[in-house]
Chain A
Amino acid sequence: MIEFDRVVKYYGTHRALDGVSFTVPDGCVTVLIGPSGCGKSTSLKLVNRLLEPDDGYVRVNGRPVKSFAVEELRRGIGYVIQSAGLLPHMTVQDNIGLVPRLLGRDKAWRRARARDLLDLIGLDPHAYARKYPSQLSGGEAQRVGVARALAADPPILLMDEPFGAVDPLNRETLQNEFISLQRKLKKTVIFVTHDLDEAVRVADRIVLLQDGLVIQEAAPEELLGRPSNAFARDFVGTDRALKRLGRFSVSDYMSHDTRRVGTKDHASVPVDATLREALSRILAIPSDEISVIDAQNRTLGSISLEAIRRAGCGGESS
């Protein structure tokens, strides 16, 4: 668990963090979000002590980060940054093996680990292990950046706008890969972004910041459903109900009655899609209901506009 306890940080006379307190539970993705200058990146860098607070405490598992030797602390925390920051003079496998190398792991171990991690992030080890960063695409470099952060198997992962420099199409792929990776690895992740859609997609919890203050600390459904003040309402936007539907899966709200599905059109929605996608598809057909299919194109049941509406209202009414 990572705790921020009344943390204050100045840049010159500018108060970048004005007594920030929040907690990051173990095994979850906590997204720090807010407009530029809100203090989200500053907060992140306080955890691995790239910055030091002027007041207050940052604690990891109850222990103030100040009490760790700074290099030890950093080697125990995975760090992913926006432009990947791969060392240009090292191959992909040497980049991935860098933290283990700093920790004194031998070469054979590092090579094997690099290959495993390349597999894990979906890059063919044979093709990529010996490449140099200049030979990678932006998305590939970013994947290698994630693999590097995971190399020493740290329990904590700090991600500073990790997919910010990748084009929108690739970004979504990377987000989905990250989500399934996190399902396997269960790291304690602090993820900084300014993109609300990204936050809604990857977060277990969202901390909304503005001018160095925490505005709201909540699960994404709650932030979207009940923004705590005018700024939060503004920030999540007028389509927040729609965004919120992106958090729910079709499989949880569908009806398994296959008889009810109409046959006059062939529109359908995959079972692992979100309610937002289902709604979008229903709006495109002249029916209030759409069939739900699995990966093999088999019809599993259907989902109705009514079911989607009920799911959407759930948060607001209570």
Chain B
Amino acid sequence: MDTDSGATVESWRLDKPVALAVIFGAAGILLPLFTIREHRLDGGTGLSVLSASVPYSVLLAVCILVPAVIILVRTNAKIRAGLLAGTGSVLIVLPWLLAGILGSRELLELELDLGRVAPAGGFWFLTLSGMILVSEFSRRVQGWTGTLLVAAILLCVFAMFRLGLLEDIAFIREYRVREQRFLSEVIAHLRIAAMAVGSAVLVGVPAGIVSYRYRVVRKPVFSVVSGLQTIPSLALFGLMIAPLAFLSQRYPFLRQLGIRGVGNAPAIIALFLYSLLPILRNTYTSLSVIDPAVIEAGKGMGMTQKQLLFMLEIPVALPIILSGIRVASVQTIGNTTVAALIGAGGLGNFVFQGLGQASPDLIVMGVIPIVVLAIVIDRVFAFFIGRVIPGARNVE
């Protein structure tokens, strides 16, 4: 895994991701960290961290200089990974704290009771820079150290939120107004995505197995599923409306099941169709690439067709099948946002409300939990896939 241990003989190469993080970080310091707005729709005046607080500017500058030095100077791979983790975490967490504390102080000085602090370019650049460094760290360490760090960062931000340090940040304001609906929309979002991916697993995995076992059905199955993938997602949601509306008109029992032209049903069906391809393709591919010698050995030892499938083929293919489900899940969490357009619930509601009201704060409020959900789900899958890879448990 670790390519850096032989660094002394390697010639120097530019570590591109880290370099990018340094550039983004520098931009983050120079650009306005947040804007102070008098009210919800005010354009506001920007404030960079340099003009707000010298000590914090220095701290951020250090967090950007350290990765810059890492690029230029050869160090021990472990120390390097540790420094990436440390600086990356600070670059993600600190902007929240600064927006919360410095922003509040500014509002107080300007005596803006209804004012709010909206994160601006600097905030996002610093976050991006930190995320790159953290993901570089995750790439360089084994096991779930990376997952632990991500969890720690999320917990840290959540703790600041619970302690009331972030109340003046614009999208937290938006959140407070909608606190009642927020949790139910998160649950709705997850439910829609889970039902879509769940049914895609129930259909896609068996379809992949059947395509592998019976080569004749492979072509038709794959052309249908790949064809579906080419329809733009927005169009697919729209296309669901007419036939489902017709069906629910025609068959009242469907209406009783909650299947109508708009709402959850068309959203789940569309998202299900989208999730099929990664799951089907990974299942099929993972089975096709099994070493034929292993299958011959299984047969030669007297496995029945069923034993061959459940004791050999599926277990061997499992890590790749799970990666397909992982891709489908992360992708579906994002796509579920669009489902709000056709009346399904979920966090997309906030995003489209925000678009309607020209309120970027509200949009951001909807997008942040979507991103967090996607990251958490991705990490959970990474953990489980790591567990099922043969030998992963006792390779040091």
Contacts and interface: CB of A to CB of B under 8 A. Distances in A.
Interface of A: 48, 50, 70-76, 79, 81-90, 98-99, 102, 130-135, 145, 148, 158
Given A132-B391, A134-B390, A134-B391, A85 B303 contact: no
B297 A81 contact: yes
A102 B293 contact: no
Interface of B: 291, 293-294, 296-304, 307, 312, 315-316, 318, 388, 390-391, 394-395
What 5 pairs between A and B have smallest CB-CB spacing?
A85-B297, A74-B302, A132-B391, A75-B302, A79-B300
A157 B294 CA distance: 18
A82 B293 CA distance: 8
Centre residue among B315, B390, B394 by max chain A CB count within 10 A = B390
Contact of B299 (A74, A87, A132, A133): A74
7 contacts: A70-B302, A85-B298, A87-B294, A102-B302, A102-B303, A134-B390, A148-B301
Contact of B302 (A89, A99, A135, A145): A99
Contacts of A158: 300
B300 A48 contact: yes
Nearest to B307: A102
Contacts of B312: 87
B122 to A, nearest CB: 47
A79 B229 CA distance: 45
Nearest to A134: B391
A135 B390 CA distance: 10
Given A50-B296, A71-B302, A71-B304, A85 B391 contact: no
Contacts of B391: 131-132, 134-135
A153 to B, nearest CB: 14
B390 A89 contact: yes
Contacts of B296: 50, 81, 85
A73 B46 CA distance: 80
A88 B293 contact: no
A95 to B, nearest CB: 9
Contacts of B301: 74-75, 79, 98-99, 102, 148
Nearest to A165: B293
A82 B300 CA distance: 13
Nearest to A145: B297
Nearest to A98: B301
A7 to B, nearest CB: 19
B302 A85 contact: no
A158 to B, nearest CB: 8
A86 B35 CA distance: 62
A89 B389 CA distance: 7
Contacts of A85: 291, 293-294, 296-298, 300
A118 B173 CA distance: 67
A50 B299 CA distance: 8
A87 B297 contact: yes
A199 B349 CA distance: 75
A263 B307 CA distance: 67
B293 A79 contact: no
Given A50-B300, A82-B293, 5 more contacts: A74-B299, A75-B301, A84-B293, A85-B291, A102-B301
A81 to B, nearest CB: 6
Nearest to A149: B301
Contact of B316 (A82, A89, A98, A131): A89
